[in-house]
Structure 1
Amino acid sequence: MDIVDCHFHVYELERFKYPWPTPGMKIYRNYFPCQFEKAIEGTNVKHAIFVQCLNSSIAEAEWVIDMASRHNIIKGVVAGLDLTSPSLEEDINKLKPSGLFKGVRHILDMEKEDWIICDDVSQGLHTLAKYDITFDVLVRPHHLKYVPQVVSKHTSTKFVINHIAKPPFNTGKLDGWREDMAEIAKYPNVYCKISGLISEQEPDTWKSIDYQPYIDHILSVFGVDRCMYGSDWPVFDMVDATYKQNLKVTRNVLSKLSDADQRKIFKENAIKFYNLEL
């Protein structure tokens, strides 16, 4: 089974000013598509989607789209366009002709907690729907209370929660997160990425964490038709994990599913959500 990795990053520290990662972090170095291609050797990953590292940067998306002409692995780009900008529609029209521009994301950690429900953000989401552009929702558990208000208002926009909203895996607690995710899953225009499971853990603990209860809950509320696989490469370098190890964690928590259902999560749902041309 070929795999679509719907969530990977590349960055060049000398090209752009990144607020994260910061100096001193293990991943504070350049990561290019050729390194990603090397990392996935020996796996069934054949296609991948780049996801933004910079807010409000059309230049980052243009850079990756240019590299995609030399790296066939890149089948889609989720750009960090500014939803509140009066030039949003102009930026969309600049990227659209490439055929690779599939979505927009914004890093909420850098904004006030209720940013996603602001009126100017809402107008931007309306514009995305007009052009059939998806929105990746990068949130943590404390943001989840705002999401139903947004997704219920923008039913023509397709949303996908990144990294199952980063619950506290290391504590084993599901309270709060479990209920909020169940509420969000009621809206059929919202998907969920099973991604980033080990990225924010610790090198000496990530192997012993029980991720299964979290994944079982996501599958129970979103179903296999609205979940998709993403690696979050290269962030898991911080826990000294290889791509194969990261992929194995996801395979293990999905191993109870039928081959057909696994095919949906590892490939078919990403193609459908992002309108990929494979």
Structure 2
Amino acid sequence: MSNSIGFDCVDSHFHIWDLQNFQYPWPTAAEAAIFKNFSPKDLQENLTKTPVRHAVFVQCLNGSPEEAKWVIQQAKDCPFIKGVVAGIDLTSPKLQEVLDEMQKLPLFKGVRHILDMEEADWITREDVHAGLKVLEGRGISYDLLLRPPLLKYIPGVVSKFPKLKFVVDHIAKPYVKDKKIDGWREEIAEIAKYPNVYCKLSGLVTEADWQSWKKEHFQPYIDHVLRCFGVDRCMFGSDWPVCTLANTDYKGTFDLVQDLLSSLSTDDKKKIFRQNAADFYRLDLTLN
């Protein structure tokens, strides 16, 4: 089914890591299935089973432009990597200097910080906002890795920086396993009112029961996100290899999102599976 979509797709969210080169806070040995090295070649092998031909790496390490440079170096032999979202410390006194260096690299496309490593209200801090202001001035996008308890802080942030493009990763990780939608539903709708905020249809399976999830478990959440953000501000992401924790593989993750969007027109699917990510991250989709 997945190869019948009719156009080459973009994966807006994948990871790779090297446990010998970097010290990662996650995964750990407790996540045995993914506690090993993953390379671009591993992903490339998975892409051949789907129409995905372009992909965006998203950071695993906070405050580590070195990780982003490592990925960019590997992209020379893996041209399907069309963009890199780097872990950069927004509160660093050297932020401008770091960004000057990163913006010389064409594949550098955005910034993210893993909020799980911080106090809940980190995103509201003035020093963080000073960093976001720098990103806004430079036209650099920011990925928001959120969980439901953090959603209440976001309208105040995204409204303060109307020219900064934000994207909510993993539809903000609602409590799919518990079939809980209240609270998340209202707060994600509030965030979607701001036209500078986009949403990744990613990270779904790991928020459900890893062994027994079904398409029907995700449909209410995806339908709600589509109603709130519209087809022009949603994009597909695999969250590979994290998705493999939930008894699936890359193709299964792609097929799930395609199934969840089966009622959409081809033009609308093309926006979600290709064009929106290309526009948001300013990707060059020259065929690999």
Q: Which of 84-93 and 223-232 deviates more?
A: 84-93
State whether residues 48 and 76 of structure 1, in contact with CA within 8 Å, keep that contact through their aligned partners in structure 2: yes
Cα deviation per residue 1:161-186 (whole Å; 9 max; x = unaligned)?
Answer: 00000001112221000000010000
CA–CA separation in structure 2 for the residues paired with 1:202 and 1:269: 29
Per the alignment, residue 109 of structure 1 pairs with 116
Aligned twin of 1:10:
16
Write the distance in 1 (CA, Å) between the matches of 2:215 and 2:145: 25
Question: Residues 98-126 of structure 1: CA distance to partner in whole angstroms, max 9, x if unpaired?
Answer: 21111000100110000001000000001
Q: Is the counterpart of residue 74 in structure 1 residue 81 in structure 2?
A: yes
Alignment partner of 1:239 out of 234, 246, 252? 246
Structure 1 CA distance for aligned equivalents of residues 133 and 153 of structure 2: 17
Structure-2 separation of matches of 1:12 and 1:200: 25
Q: Which residue of 1 aligns with 2:172?
A: 165
Instruction: Note the C-alpha offset of 1:277.
Output: 1.6
Q: Secondary structure at the match of 1:31?
A: coil
TM-score with structure 2 setting the length: 0.95
SS of 2:120's partner is coil
**Structure 1 counterpart of 2:225, which letter?**
I
Q: 1:227 aligns with which of 234, 247, 255?
A: 234
How far 1:206 sits from its partner (Å)?
2.1
**1:178 alignment counterpart:** 185
8 Å contact kept, 1:169–1:209:
no
Separation in structure 1 between the aligned mates of residue 269 and residue 234 of structure 2, nearest angstrom: 10
| CA offsets 1:186-227 (integer angstroms, 9 cap, x no match) | 000000000011124343222365100000000001000000
Write the distance in 2 (CA, Å) between the matches of 1:201 and 1:171.
Answer: 8
**Counterpart secondary structure, 1:225:** coil
Asked whether 1:20 is paired with 2:26, we answer yes
Q: Give CA-to-partner distance per residue, 1:141-171, whole Å, 9 cap, x none.
A: 0000000000000111100000000001112
Taking structure 1 as the reference length, what is the TM-score of the superposition?
A: 0.98
Query: Which structure 2 segments of 5+ residues have no match?
Result: 1-6
Three-state SS of the structure 2 residue aligned to 1:42 is coil
Contact 1:227 1:269 in 2 (8 A): yes
Counterpart in 2 of 1:216? 223
Q: Partners of 2:255 and 2:84 in 1: how far apart?
A: 25
For 1:224, what is the secondary structure of its paired residue? coil
What residue identity is the alignment partner of 2:230? G
| Contact 2:215/2:260 (<8 A) preserved | no
Aligned-residue Cα RMSD (Å) equals 1.0
* Aligned-pair CA distance for 1:240: 2.6
| Amino acid across the alignment from 1:6 | S
Confirm whether residue 84 of structure 1 aligns to residue 91 of structure 2: yes
Structure 1, unpaired ranges of 5+: none
Residues 174, 207 of structure 2: 8 Å contact kept: no
* SS of match in other structure, 1:228: strand
Query: What secondary structure is seen at the aligned counterpart in 2 of 1:50?
Result: strand
Quote the sequence identity (%).
53
Letter in 2 for 1:57: S
Task: Classify the secondary structure of the residue corresponding to 1:49.
Answer: strand
Q: State the match for 1:191 in structure 2.
A: 198
Which string of whole-angstrom CA distances, capped at 9 and with x for unpartnered residues, describes residues 72-92 of structure 1? 010000000001001111111
Deviation at 1:97, TM superposition (A): 1.5
Structure 2 counterpart of 1:126: 133
Q: Per-residue deviation at 1:129?
A: 1.1
Say if 2:201 and 2:235, in contact at 8 Å, map to a contact too: yes
Mapped contact 1:199–1:232 kept (Cα < 8 A): no
1:267 equivalent among 254, 261, 274: 274
Select between 101-110 and 237-246 the one with higher mean Cα deviation. Answer: 237-246
Contact conserved, 1:51 with 1:77, CA < 8 A, in 2? yes
Q: Residues 224, 87 of structure 1: CA spacing in aligned structure 2 closer, same or farther, 3 A cutoff?
A: same
